[in-house]
Amino acid sequence: MLRVPYQELFDTLLRVLLKLGFEQSRGEKCAQLFSESSRDGVYSHGLNRFPLFVTMIRNGVINIHAEPEAMMSHGALERWDGKVGPGNLNAYHCMERAITLSRLHGIGCVALAKTNHWMRGGSYGWQAAESGMIGICWTNTLPNLPPWGASDPRVGNNPLVIAVPRAKGHVVLDMAMSQFSYGALASYRARGELLPVAGGFDVDGNLTRDPGAIEKSKRAMPIGFWKGSGLSLTLDLIAAMLSGGNATHQIVADPQRETEISQVFIALNPGFNGDGTSGARIADKIIEYFQLPPGSTSERVRYPGERVLRTRKENMEMGIPVEPAIWQEVQGM
Amino acid sequence: MLRVPYQELFDTLLRVLLKLGFEQSRGEKCAQLFSESSRDGVYSHGLNRFPLFVTMIRNGVINIHAEPEAMMSHGALERWDGKVGPGNLNAYHCMERAITLSRLHGIGCVALAKTNHWMRGGSYGWQAAESGMIGICWTNTLPNLPPWGASDPRVGNNPLVIAVPRAKGHVVLDMAMSQFSYGALASYRARGELLPVAGGFDVDGNLTRDPGAIEKSKRAMPIGFWKGSGLSLTLDLIAAMLSGGNATHQIVADPQRETEISQVFIALNPGFNGDGTSGARIADKIIEYFQLPPGSTSERVRYPGERVLRTRKENMEMGIPVEPAIWQEVQGM
């Protein structure tokens, strides 16, 4: 396995971004967000997605100079226009704004229209948690998921992120509304493995654990069957209505041209009682019980975000694993 | 099937509540919330749950005279104490307060500690939507769900409600974090049916569609396997941290003594752009596409809340179906 030091990955991505015309500080933030995704083990939305990001800049889908602009405001709720700027920079900016609003009003919400793929959604959950805030954010996507009861894609997999700050390790849930992403299906297929649970339907409409059969049918399964189907729908409704931007059904169903999507960023201040330690104690107790309740004879369970810290440490010490072909491609850019 | 007119159901429940000592207007609101649940087809949390509600009042678990009190406020975020009052009245009051906050600040959030079971969570979603607001609310519960990877209950099924206002029919998602409630499992078993999809594990740890096997093992399944497990955890964290109240692990694991639970109510103003019609148009288009996209050869799909309107109409015209034994019991109270 090829491993690359964090700094080398960051420097390489930054060099490419500057060459593409990024302004220095924006290039640094963008390179940082990509590098941190790989550092944290979310390879699919780190280095591995960088070539597609560059393609979309070259094709004019992403405008690297565009900065998000506030369009409307009502106290703690704001609407921003992403102007098809880089999705990760837009998302970072809007979560930062939601955090600021939550400092002023206890809770803050930014609805963002006309943005691009935010890459790793968890980034903005970690961002909120690092600021001591609870973060809730989601994005809509192109239609890539049949709702329960249909065989054609009518909803997006609309990733939802919920982050809770905690000194001993933030809890960060980062989940799409499909049971497995297409990236995950491809990985299982490449390893010749069956999915651990049914992940969708084959072309005959039977539930299956065969990743290839789902890639072929394009019938991935919503989490919780009808429940994830409804959840995905409501997330899309709220994102489009609050932002005034596109809903899933209006987004081009081609990953290379998926743009002008809508997102929501909410931050909540758990320290609004002026006593942060009480919230911290509550969180620690909940996590301890979740991992292994006192006296339990059952299994130790990992909380969302727990594995990230271990991966991060390992990758910072040993270097970040990269796909040699992709690494070579990006080095040559 | 025995059917009872709405007014008769309401009058009967109100009479019992007044006899128990409810103040008139609070008794009316409480009877209304129970009656509307049955009217809308959510029988498990309407009349069918009323006897347990009365038992908990008689046992002193629920204090019928207690009114929720604001404890702390930071702009659009407030913390309330439910003082173990009736759960449905507390929830209704707090969603009303969140709606008021959203009128003032665009978004409003009320975190409620020390409350009781809110009965049908969807009630407060409909309430927000009827006020023209997006409503998001959830509750924690006693530990009744093993997280993915464990065999003992460490999280609650923590129902989550998301409601979006829409003139042609509000979209109201009301979903617990378990794939099937214990009430649903009992219904399937009574009808001698298998579950449509795997709903949990048998005592040997195998996924099963046999409702009786899950009732026996107490190993219901989180929606989306590991995903619902994490979602349930984060909802509990936020509810306990914001309200300062109990987390799931602190709630007595006995439905008859389940009390002092924590809830969150969020309202968002989709008309904050001053042009409600644009949001309405967006919602209509999304729902039309979800139900049956133009040119689709696939199936028509129902959105969350769609069936409620039909059931409501039918039950208002023909009377509300009641279980004869429960109806007789309540009439005799």
What is the complex's ipTM, to 2 decimals? 0.97
**pLDDT tens-place string over residues A122-146:** 999 999 999 999 999 999 999 999 9
The mean of the pLDDT values for chain B is 95
Q: Quick one: pLDDT band at residue A213, thresholds 50, 70, 90?
A: very high
Residue of B nearest to A151 (CA): B298
Assigned token pair, A90: 């837009």
One domain, residues B123 and B30: no
> Which residue in A48, A120, A54, A49 sits closest to A91, CA to CA?
A120
One domain, residues B206 and B252: no
Is B92 part of a structural domain of the chain?
yes
> How far does Cα B72 stand from its chain's mean position?
25
Contact indicator for B124, B137 with CB cutoff of 8 Å: yes
> Is-catalytic flag, A45?
yes
Q: Which of A105, A107, A228 sits opposite B223 (nearest CB)?
A: A228
Q: Quick one: pLDDT band at residue B273, thresholds 50, 70, 90?
A: low
One domain, residues B108 and B197: no
Residue A81 has pLDDT above 80, yes or no: yes
Is A288 part of a structural domain of the chain?
no
Is B280 part of a structural domain of the chain?
no
Q: Do B230 and A273 touch (CB under 8 A)?
A: no
Is B164 part of a structural domain of the chain?
yes
> How far is the alpha carbon of A283 from chain B, nearest alpha carbon, in Å?
6
Q: Between B122-130 and B87-105, two packed helices, what is the crossing angle to 10 degrees?
A: 30
A309 CB within 8 Å of a chain B CB: no
One domain, residues B211 and B317: no
Is A52 part of a structural domain of the chain?
yes
> How far is the alpha carbon of A70 from chain B, nearest alpha carbon, in Å?
13
> How far is the alpha carbon of A235 from chain B, nearest alpha carbon, in Å?
9
Is A297 part of a structural domain of the chain?
no
Which of B77, B195, B260, B306 to probe by mutation at the A interface, max A CB count within 10 Å? Answer: B77
B134 CB within 8 Å of a chain A CB: yes
Q: Do A75 and B105 touch (CB under 8 A)?
A: yes
Strand A69-74: give its sheet, edge to edge: A69-74, A77-81, A107-115, A261-268, A134-139, A160-164, A171-175
CA distance A114 to B47: 47
Q: Do B171 and A237 touch (CB under 8 A)?
A: yes
One domain, residues A170 and A185: no
Q: How high is the pLDDT of residue B134? A: 97
Is A144 part of a structural domain of the chain?
yes
One domain, residues B91 and B227: yes
Beta A77-81 vs A107-115: how paired, if at all? Answer: parallel
Which domain CATH number covers A192? 3.30.60.50
Q: Quick one: pLDDT band at residue B48, thresholds 50, 70, 90?
A: very high
> How far is the alpha carbon of A326 from chain B, nearest alpha carbon, in Å?
30
CA distance B11 to B8: 5
Q: Do B230 and A301 touch (CB under 8 A)?
A: no
Q: Do A105 and B75 touch (CB under 8 A)?
A: yes
**pLDDT tens-place string over residues B212-263:** 999 999 899 999 999 999 999 999 999 999 999 999 999 999 989 999 999 9
One domain, residues A145 and A135: yes
Q: Do B134 and A223 touch (CB under 8 A)?
A: no
**pLDDT tens-place string over residues A237-289:** 999 999 999 999 999 999 899 999 999 999 999 986 666 667 888 999 999 99
Q: How far is CA B271 from CA A94, B53, B127, B131, B133, in A?
A: 20, 37, 16, 11, 8
Residue A2 has pLDDT above 80, yes or no: yes
One domain, residues B71 and B85: yes
One domain, residues A94 and A169: yes
Q: How high is the pLDDT of residue A65? A: 98
CA distance B243 to B247: 10
Is A161 part of a structural domain of the chain?
yes
Q: Quick one: pLDDT band at residue A298, thresholds 50, 70, 90?
A: confident
Range of the domain at A110: 67-178+224-272
Q: Which of B223, B242, B293 sits opposite A152 (nearest CB)?
A: B293
Q: How high is the pLDDT of residue B280? A: 83
Q: Which of A153, A188, A221 is the last residue of a domain?
A: A221
Q: Which of A252, A272, A292 is the last residue of a domain?
A: A272
Q: Which residues pair with B264 in a beta bridge?
A: B111, B138
One domain, residues B89 and B120: yes
Q: How many domains does chain B have?
A: 3
One domain, residues B188 and B324: no
- Residue pairs spanning A and B at CB distance below 8 A: 254
DSSP character at residue A294: T
One domain, residues A87 and A165: yes
Which domain CATH number covers B244? 3.30.1370.60
Percent of chain B with pLDDT over 90: 90
The stretches of chain A forming alpha helices (DSSP H) are 6-20, 24-39, 50-58, 87-105, 122-130, 182-190, 211-217, 226-243, 276-291, 306-318, 324-331
